[in-house]
Amino acid sequence: MTTLQILGSGCANCVRLAHNTEAAAKELGMEFTIEKVTDIQAIVRAGVMKTPALVVDGRVKLYGRVPNVDELKTILA
Amino acid sequence: MAIQVSTACEMKTGKQRKGLQKSAFRSALLICLGLVAWWHIYRRLSAFADWFAFSVLHCSPSTRLGSAVQFMVYESPKVLMLLVLVVFGVGIVRSFFTPQRTRAMLAGTRESVGNVLAALLGVVTPFCSCSAVPLFIGFVTTGVPLGVTFSFLIAAPMINEVALVLLFGLFGWKVAAIYAGTGLMIAMIAGWIIGRLKMEHYVEPWVYEAQMSDGMDEDAKLTWAERIHLGREAVRDIVGKVWPYVLVGIAVGAGIHGYVPQNFMAHIMGKGAWWSVPLAVLIGIPMYSNAAGIIPIVQALLQKGAALGTVLAFMMSVIGLSFPETIILRKVLRPQLIAAFIGVVAVGILIVGYLFNLLM
């Protein structure tokens, strides 16, 4: 089971990243949970200065941009 | 759940890297070809617009309709092409300036030098207002002075590539340079003043207690192919978002050309009306728009006789001081500090407005 987290205040980019990430994980046939982390202190603790960020199993994999589904698949794979 | 930070660049395996190097060659070649094609198309736009408006559509150059059509057919591709080129270039430049690097550069400088550097870095460091809070915390907790942080936060939204391209494309390089120069001055000086006001205790106390890890800096290890990819992504994101505004702006410019009296705005927003600059700033602060959205209005105002200083002040207060951003910043700043921030920047914008109405 992979834990996916989207860090961000909930702006349009965060929603897009969550959407694309979910689509990528589904296409890969992953078993996963996805949650949005909007708590600013948690975002800061992760060292993220630019939102949105993608955290996979507790590791920051990407921040500050919204890649397309294909690129997210290579990041998740 | 605790979130670890990966230090190594583990996104890419060796195999992927090789593939990326190969595609870097290809993309470099494509970029060169693209630039040549861009230049040849760009320099023929004017001739094409004449041919299209006057030969294909049989409009007469001397009629209102003819010149409006020619204006539209020439300006639309011109501004969009400039936008694509600059956004692509800036996208690549920005891949070198991560927030982490910018912070490291600013943490080690003296305050006055820091204000200058922060304003300049604000232009090239990618930033959106939804990241204002984590960025603010990341800066002040690692020793970047408060005033220097503000120089960055003021410059970043106010001076951006979209605003500059549009000003350059529609009003010429002088207006674009004036806007960039005075915007930078405001960011530097306003940040310096906020630093002198010693308002550190008006930052919410939990901010200084926040523990921010170094974060990963994957961007520092990007390959050229990836930087080019980021440039293309920037074009897709930014140009994809702003093109309708640009076209509306140009249509407004073309449309009102003959139909609204030339000096319609002159007595309201012209040089003679001393109160027009503060009024423009007051109206501009609660308004929120990106640079592209405000351009149609700027276009219309300038063409109808509004003074340049007044219009610049309006544009700066709309895109530089925004209501949503201050609400976001309220999470980390007490109201007194927010008031000082808006007050100092608004005074700076007022001075710029009056200065240009006097000089031009």
ipTM score assigned to the predicted complex: 0.83
On whether any CB of chain B is under 8 Å from the CB of A69, the answer is no
B194 touches B344 (CB < 8 A): yes
Q: Do B3 and A40 touch (CB under 8 A)?
A: no
Asked if residue B281 is part of any domain, the answer here is yes
Secondary structure (DSSP) of B209-256: H--------GGGG--HHHHHHHHHHHIIIIIHHHHHHHHHHHHHHHHH
Question: Binning pLDDT at 50, 70 and 90, where does residue B118 land?
Answer: very high
pLDDT: which is higher, B262 or B243: B243
Query: What are B148's two structure tokens?
Result: 């220097």
- Average of per-residue pLDDT across B51-64: 80
Q: Do B3 and A62 touch (CB under 8 A)?
A: no
Please state, rounded to an integer, the average pLDDT across all residues of chain B: 81
pLDDT: which is higher, B147 or B319: B147
Q: How many domains does one find in chain B?
A: 1
Asked if residue B301 is part of any domain, the answer here is yes
- Average of per-residue pLDDT across B255-279: 68
Question: Binning pLDDT at 50, 70 and 90, where does residue B263 land?
Answer: low
- Is A73 in the active site? no
pLDDT: which is higher, B250 or B259: B250
What local confidence, expressed as pLDDT, does residue B265 receive?
59
Q: How far apart are CA B251 and CA B213, in angstroms?
A: 49
For A50, the closest chain B residue by CA position comes to: B131
In sequence order, the β-bridge partners of residue A34 are: A4
Q: Are strands A2-7 and A32-37 parallel, antiparallel or unpaired?
A: parallel
What local confidence, expressed as pLDDT, does residue B1 receive?
42
Residue listed under structure tokens 């040089």: B271
Query: What are A60's two structure tokens?
Result: 């920051």
B316 touches B284 (CB < 8 A): yes
B335 touches B199 (CB < 8 A): no
Domains of chain A with CATH codes:
2-76 (3.40.30.10)
Question: Binning pLDDT at 50, 70 and 90, where does residue B8 land?
Answer: very low
What local confidence, expressed as pLDDT, does residue B120 receive?
92
Asked if residue B18 is part of any domain, the answer here is no
Length, in residues, of chain A: 77
Asked if residue B3 is part of any domain, the answer here is no
Q: How far apart are CA B222 and CA B237, in angstroms?
A: 20
Distance from the Cα of B179 to chain A's closest Cα (Å) equals 27
Q: Which residues in chain B (38-57) have CB-CB distances under 8 A to chain A?
A: none
Integer-rounded Cα Rg, in Å, for chain B is 23
What local confidence, expressed as pLDDT, does residue B7 receive?
37
Contact residues on chain A for B100, CB-CB shorter than 8 A:
49
Model confidence at B128: pLDDT above 90: no
Model confidence at B12: pLDDT above 50: no
Model confidence at B347: pLDDT above 80: yes
Model confidence at B261: pLDDT above 70: no
What local confidence, expressed as pLDDT, does residue B6 receive?
42
| B99, B129, B325, B332 from B329: Cα distances, Å | 18, 9, 6, 6
Range of the domain at B67: 26-210+224-359
Q: What is the pTM of this model?
A: 0.81
Model confidence at B36: pLDDT above 80: yes
Residue listed under structure tokens 């007044």: B310
Which residue type occupies B23? S
